[in-house]
Amino acid sequence: MYLFLISIAVGLLVGLGLGLSETLGYGWSTFYGVLAFGLTQFIAGRVIQKRVKAVMESVQAVLMEGQKRLQAKMARWQMRPPGSIQAMQAEMARDQKVFVTEALARTEELRRFVMWVPMMKRQIATAQFQLHWMIKDFKKVDELMPKALFFDPTMTAMKLARMYMLDKPTEEIGKVYTKGVARLRYNQNVLLAATYSWILVQRKDIDGAFKTLNRALEKSDNETLKANREHLANNRVAHFTNAALGEQWYALMLEEPRIRQQRPRMQWR
């Protein structure tokens, strides 16, 4: 808003200044006024964009550093288990909440650009939606969901997962899925198809899940989708699993990953 208004003001000042002073004729005054408007938009826009990018990079840096510390701790625990798995998971959740809370605080710095950048409020809501999801703050997730932008498969899959958690009608979930996969390229539909078919299996709509996977495999050659389709086709519903998708799947919070503990090898003397 501010950028647009300032650009108009600059354009008018240049155009009217040249015209009223009779420095140039009406046509050239208008041309330079429009040019001044465009240049102001471009230059100021680049400056603001650079500052927004710097904030987002700082958020990403906090997350990457936090994830690196968690992975290092997990590796140590797998070699030397500290105790119960529940205690380990609780400690990891506390550690994650610390750096995610820091990342959330940094996203608040973007609010100073709200009146400068179109859709900035929705961009902030989108970033915060993902961060609150990471720490399972679903009350805040539900508050942000109507404001967020679901522009990629991961975000749409999170929306499908939350709708399932909230026990939304299958028809509503199906509409979100159909819209989400409509313009995806080859193999970009894997997470969405895996999520939606899993939801249908949980709701005992095996035929619907099979048809979903059939259609999805017209635009994908993913082995997990193929395996799940074969399980459903051969009445092996209990074998249906998205575990092979790894962290991408477990990040949706629909299932808990299995943590394997490595037993220390005994050394014989």
pLDDT tens digits, 107-161: 999 988 888 788 889 999 999 999 999 999 999 999 999 999 998 999 999 999 9
Three-class DSSP category at 240: coil
Q: Please, what is the angle between helix 223-233 and helix 206-216, to 10°?
A: 140
Per the domain annotation, does 68 fall within a domain?
no
| Averaged pLDDT for residues 198-219 | 96
Domain, as residue range, for 164: 150-255
Using alpha carbons, select from 42, 38, 31, 29 the residue that is nearest to residue 10. Answer: 38
Using alpha carbons, select from 149, 117, 145, 113 the residue that is nearest to residue 132. Answer: 145
Per the domain annotation, does 225 fall within a domain?
yes
Query: Could you tell me the end-to-end alpha-carbon distance of the chain, in angstroms, rounded to an integer?
Result: 76
CA 88 – CA 73 distance, rounded (Å): 10
Per the domain annotation, does 205 fall within a domain?
yes
Half-sphere exposure of 140 (CA within 13 A, CB side): 15
Using alpha carbons, select from 80, 130, 121, 122 the residue that is nearest to residue 100. Answer: 130
Tens digits of per-residue pLDDT, 14-25?
655 656 565 656
Number of domains in the chain: 1
Radius of gyration of the chain (CA): 26
Tens digits of per-residue pLDDT, 161-204?
999 999 999 999 999 999 999 989 999 999 999 999 999 999 99
Per the domain annotation, does 86 fall within a domain?
no
